[in-house]
Structure 1
Amino acid sequence: MYALALEQNTLRLEPETTFAGSAGLIANLATVISALTIYMGLPKPPVAGKKPPTGKKILVYGGSSAVGGLAVQYATDAGYGVVTTSSAANRSMVEKRNPSHIIDHSRPDEDVIREIRENGPYEGIFDAIGSTTTTQRMVALLRETGGRFFSTSPSPGDEAIPAGIEKLWAGYSETLVSQAAHRELRTWYMDAYLPAALKKGTIWPNPALWLEGGLNSAQKALDLLYGDHISGRKVFINPQE
């Protein structure tokens, strides 16, 4: 079985990198770079090391998710303080990504929103979950001041978002890899940033959850993801099984 892909969107793996680690990063990290740098306007981090602290903060809601965890690392390396959310069960995993503050999202809405406000203000807000619940919390957060937040997906009830609050989402990774206007950023990502991260292990995906059965398990993987049965894990299937 062979998968067809444009050469510009493929990566040569070094001996010290694993297929699972690479597959777990390439698309989700592209989403993060596009959302935070193209859409939100954050500067890129260095290929190696971190930028000095800027004194500014961003909010990443969903720090234990596959995309949210990478967003925490990316923004932190770019010099930002990152406030994020996690359950108590995933807190130790999220701490390894060095956010400046972690909020327990399992608490009541009013407590979570108050703690988010207390740790602001924020240069940008990124909702890495994209559910109805997280959208409602972001709307409540911005109800008095107005403003916008970026999200990974639309959700039921978005049409009821009040005037003055804007939820923005896009096919972030597609924007990065396919639009000519961002060719330089894509080249930096594919030729410099991602290979260095994989080789040095400085950025990593969430722990793997392998499903047996190859492509026959694709529907099971989707059911797990869309049924909110996955937390703090990255689902993998091997098409060659």
Structure 2
Amino acid sequence: MSPNNFAAVLPVAQGTITVGPVAYPTLPPGGVILRNTIVAFNPVDWKIARGGNRPIEYPAILGYSYGGVVEAVDEAVSRVKKGDYVFTQNPKAGGFQRFSAADAKFVGKVDEKSVDDAAAVVLNVRTIIGAAVEAGLDRPKDTKTANPSNGKKALVYGGSSSLGALAIQYLVQAGYTVISTSSPANHALVSGFKAAAVVDHTQAADAVIAALKQHGPYDFAFDAISTPPATAINAAVLGAQSGDIVLYSVGPPPADVEIPKNVTRVVKAWPGALAASDPSFDEWVFVKYIPEAVAAGTLKSVPLELVHGGLGAVDEALRKLEKGVSAQKLILYPWEDAPKDEL
């Protein structure tokens, strides 16, 4: 008899999330079933929940990056076994429940103490790597030490965001000199990720642009914020350079921001782009890079912030994320509100 499963369910687009019993997942071909112990929140979760602007099937169980213990494994899977601690970035979501199914190619094995950290970083690590692969950048040759400097500069706008922090670390490990931005309150945090310089983005836009220009020119540019003001600043900085350059972004193009002729702004669902363009690289991310770099401490999330209340607190966490968080990553333990006899 299968265990009882509960989930935080979004019944319809822009509906109210409710917690209740759901079916225990079916083991998919080439897949695994997990007992979810942690789910990490990402902007895509609240954007779907509040905006309803992505084609998904309802009722829906969101939660794209999470981790836990393997409960069952398809016979074709050799990467993990029952009882292993794993993390996943599941394209089909499903993290906001106690048990879930996932494709094993999007699962990585870690030790118990690394599950939270690996689950917290996986979606954003695959985001920056997806952009880096498209740009043809060098990749880290080792998970514990950085490549020798390649003499190239990278701009990462928004270094205190979860995505920006991981972008800095990955690019530094790949041998790039990284210039980033943050508020003064988060300057030490971003510097700790080994950004060579951190510009105060709370200054007037002209001052931010001037400071970033001073540290350039840049060989690679990644906008982890991608709001209209951030896009305008990046466009002005890169537009002043000679030669063409791509601005890799994560949000739709703002209608009211003029992009200079030498700048091409590219937006994709970068994890999906990585899986489609270079499956072997993506396998390296799950099997080697994230497990080893997290264990070695060379890949770190911004501080984790636990939202208490188990599945019943999913809506609270989404609202907090929608309002905006900086220098922290929201996580939740799906079993925290479970009856003691089910633990």
TM-score surpassing 0.5?
A: yes
1:156 to partner: Cα distance: 4.1
Alignment partner, residue 51 of structure 1: 147
Residues 1:39 and 2:119 aligned together: no
Greater alpha carbon shift after TM alignment, 55-64 vs 186-195: 186-195
Whether contact under 8 Å (2:131, 2:270) holds in the other structure is: yes
Does the C-alpha gap of structure 1 residues 219 and 85 become closer, same or farther in structure 2, counting only changes over 3 Å?
same
**CA deviation map 1:163-212 (0-9, x unaligned):** 553211111112223x1x41110121111111111221221111011112
The CA distance in 2 between the partners of 1:18 and 1:191, in whole Å, is 14
The CA distance in 1 between the partners of 2:196 and 2:134, in whole Å, is 23
Greater alpha carbon shift after TM alignment, 207-216 vs 155-164: 155-164
TM-score by length of 2: 0.65
Does the C-alpha gap of structure 1 residues 164 and 49 become closer, same or farther in structure 2, counting only changes over 3 Å?
closer
The CA distance in 2 between the partners of 1:100 and 1:162, in whole Å, is 27
Residues 1:223 and 2:334 aligned together: no
**CA deviation map 1:64-120 (0-9, x unaligned):** 110111111111111111000011111111111111111011011111101111111
Residues 1:234 and 2:320 aligned together: no
1:159 to partner: Cα distance: 7.1
| Off by >6 Å, runs of 4+ in structure 1 | none
1:220 to partner: Cα distance: 2.5
Percent identity over the alignment?
31
Alignment partner, residue 249 of structure 2: 151
1:137 to partner: Cα distance: 1.1
The CA distance in 2 between the partners of 1:138 and 1:54, in whole Å, is 23
The CA distance in 1 between the partners of 2:121 and 2:194, in whole Å, is 18
Residues 1:9 and 2:106 aligned together: yes
Structure 1 residue corresponding to 2:268, chosen from 170, 174, 177: 170
- Give the alignment's Cα RMSD to 1 decimal: 1.9
Helix, strand or coil at the partner of 2:109: coil
Residues 1:29 and 2:125 aligned together: yes
Helix, strand or coil at the partner of 2:247: strand
Structure 2, unaligned runs of 5 or more: 1-97, 337-343
The CA distance in 2 between the partners of 1:32 and 1:165, in whole Å, is 19
The CA distance in 2 between the partners of 1:235 and 1:169, in whole Å, is 24
Count the aligned residue pairs.
236
1:160 to partner: Cα distance: 5.1
Whether contact under 8 Å (2:109, 2:287) holds in the other structure is: no
